Amino acid sequence: MIRGIGIVVLAMGAVMAQAPTAEVRLPPERIIDWQPHAFAGETDYALASTAEGTAVRAVCEDGTASGLVYPEAIDLDKTPIIEWRWRVLDPVATGDPRRQSGDDYAARLYAVDEHPILRWRTRAINYVTSTRAQPGEQWPNAFASQARMVVVDSLDGASTGNDGWRVHRRNLREDFARLHDRAIDRIDGLALMTDCDNTGDRAEALYGTLRLLPES
């Protein structure tokens, strides 16, 4: 599911104030207050206590698909690096993720470069965890080809080490240049989503702190 996230981000957008080299921390206690946006029913997002600290627990059942949207523009000249933590508890195990019928993910992170007038020029990257593709694989989203899906985890439901938590770090500016041939100095928002509306699988994940960082 990709439909509409970019439009939602644009409608809610505002420029985030950032110190010249400041790290921006977005802990679960802030993420839970991001703007919800539903596509098909409501994925259940709630704060949960874990051995690794507080997390946002996302549970997707009965064909739901909704996300949490952070609509503030991010200055990539100051903080081009994004780092996040997540843990998949119940992965989506069926369907071809390259087809609309299989476009579900237990955990995904959107980054959106929204064009305010020419909507077809909007571009997005979805960093996803999958049981059905390998890390490094990427393809156009089945619903909207202007979004690229990038697999960062491949899970089979077994333990992933470190109590199942995984940490990822990406350079947003470099990824938009590589995947979309687009030189950008800001993105217009972020979103998290756990969805199961296309496959009907159950999915569950934990999201930890997200950080926006300057280049070292």
pTM score of the predicted model? 0.87
Q: Does residue 211 carry a pLDDT above 70?
A: yes
Q: Does residue 48 carry a pLDDT above 50?
A: yes
| Total domains present in the chain | 1
pLDDT at 12: 40
Q: Could you list the residue range(s) of the whole structural domain that residue 83 is in?
A: 5-213
pLDDT classification of 21: cutoffs 50, 70, 90: low
Tell me the CATH number at 129: 2.60.120.260
Contacts of 40 (CB under 8 A, 6+ apart): 1, 63, 64, 65, 66, 195, 197
Q: Does residue 160 carry a pLDDT above 90?
A: no
Q: Write out the DSSP string of 52-87.
A: TEEEEEEEE-TT-EEEEEE-EEEETTT--EEEEEEE
Q: What are phi and psi for residue 192, nearest 5 degrees?
A: -115, 145
> Could you say which DSSP state residue 157 is in?
S
pLDDT classification of 22: cutoffs 50, 70, 90: confident
Q: Tell me the per-residue pLDDT of 169-179, one tens digit each, with 9 for 90 and over.
A: 999 999 999 99
Measured in whole angstroms, how far is the alpha carbon of residue 107 from the centre of its chain?
7
Mean pLDDT value across residues 105-116? 87
Asked if residue 67 lies in contact with residue 191, where contact means CB atoms within 8 angstroms, the answer is: yes
Q: Tell me the per-residue pLDDT of 1-14, one tens digit each, with 9 for 90 and over.
A: 545 555 454 344 44
pLDDT at 16: 43
pLDDT classification of 156: cutoffs 50, 70, 90: low
